A and B are shown apart, each in its own frame.
Chain A
Amino acid sequence: MGSEDEQKYAAFMEKVKRTMYLDNISPQVTDAVIKTAFEQYGTVTNIHFIPNYIEPNYSGKCALVELENEKQAKSIIEVLSSYPFMMSGMPRPVRGRHAEPEMFDDCPPKPGRKIQVFWVDPKDPQFEVAQKLKNLTKKHVAEQSFLQKKQLEEEEKLSKQQAETLKGHYEKFEMMDSILCDGTSKRLSRFYGVNLNDD
Chain B
Amino acid sequence: MEASSCCIVSYIVVCSNFISSIGILVSVFGGDQAMSQLVEENQKTFKWGIKIVTDDSEIKSYKSFTYQGVQYFLQDCVYLYREGAKDTDIGKLVKMWESKTGAKRGKVIWFFRPVDVCNFLREYEPSWNELFLASGEGRGVSNIIPLEAIVGKCNVACTAKDRRNTLLSKSDLAKANYYVSHIFDVGDLRISDKFPDIIDKIKVERLFNWSQNNPKGNLECRTGLSAGAQLKEKPTNTAEKPTKIEILHASENFENRDKPKANVECRNDPSANALLKVKEKPTYTAENHIKAEVLSIHENLEHHTLEAPPLKKRKILPVAETDPPSPSQDTRRWFFTLPWEDKVKEAHEQGTLVHLYNLDLSHTALDVQEMISKAFKVKAHAKVIPRRHSFDVYGHALVIFESKDDADLVMCLLKDRCLVVGEGRPLVACKATFNEPDMTLNFPGHLIMDSLKHKFNRKAVFASHCAQANTIEHEMAMQWRMLQNKSDLWWEALYKGQAKEFSHCQNQIMKHRTDELNTSAVEVTVAHESSDVPNRTEVERPSAPKSDEPNRTAVEVTSGPESPVERPQSASHPTLL
Contact = CB atoms under 8 A, between A and B. Distances in A.
Interface of A: 24, 26-28, 33, 36-37, 50-56, 58-60, 62, 78-79, 81-93, 95, 97, 100, 102-103, 105, 107-110, 113-122, 124-134, 136-147, 150-152, 154-156, 158-159, 162-163, 165-166, 169-170
Contact of A109 (B364, B419, B557): B364
A93 B418 contact: no
Interface string B508-535: 1100110000000000000000000000
16 contacts: A26-B443, A53-B398, A54-B433, A59-B444, A78-B122, A105-B383, A110-B362, A113-B362, A115-B370, A120-B417, A132-B557, A134-B428, A141-B282, A144-B392, A155-B445, A170-B449
Contacts of A90: 445-447, 462
Interface of B: 119, 122, 258, 260, 271-272, 275-276, 278-282, 304-305, 308, 311-312, 315, 340-341, 344, 355, 357-358, 361-362, 364-367, 370-371, 374-375, 383-388, 390, 392, 394-396, 398, 416-422, 424-426, 428, 432-435, 437, 439, 441-447, 449, 451-452, 462-467, 472-474, 476-481, 483-484, 487, 490-491, 494, 498, 501-502, 505-506, 508-509, 512-513, 540, 543-544, 546-547, 549-550, 553-554, 557, 561
A146 B279 contact: yes
A143 B384 CA distance: 21
A74 B410 CA distance: 43
B258 to A, nearest CB: 8
Nearest to A29: B464
A162 B344 CA distance: 37
Contacts of A136: 501-502, 505, 557
A113 B395 CA distance: 17
A83 B344 CA distance: 38
Contacts of B370: 115
B478 A137 contact: no
Contacts of A51: 340-341, 437
Given A119-B308, A134-B358, A86 B557 contact: no
A142 B281 contact: yes
B418 A132 contact: no
A97 B281 CA distance: 33
Nearest to B553: A132
Given A85-B465, A92-B480, A141-B282, A155 B505 contact: no
B419 A117 contact: yes
Contacts of A108: 364
B509 A119 contact: no
A89 B463 contact: yes
Nearest to A110: B362
A54 B396 contact: yes
A133 B547 CA distance: 14
A161 to B, nearest CB: 8
A53 B374 CA distance: 27
A56 to B, nearest CB: 5
B466 A121 contact: no
A147 B275 contact: yes
A142 B280 contact: yes
A109 B477 CA distance: 40
Contacts of B281: 142
A140 B478 CA distance: 31
Given A91-B476, A137-B357, A166 B308 contact: no
B113 to A, nearest CB: 17
B412 to A, nearest CB: 14
A84 B361 contact: no
A147 B365 CA distance: 27
Contact of B260 (A27, A83, A129, A142): A83
B513 A126 contact: yes
Contact of A134 (B312, B418, B444, B445): B418
B439 A27 contact: yes
Given A134-B418, A141-B394, A91 B362 contact: no
A119 B305 contact: yes
Given A118-B308, A118-B315, A129-B512, A142 B279 contact: yes
Contacts of B476: 91, 162, 165-166
Nearest to A93: B477
Given A54-B434, A110-B362, A132-B553, A60 B443 contact: yes
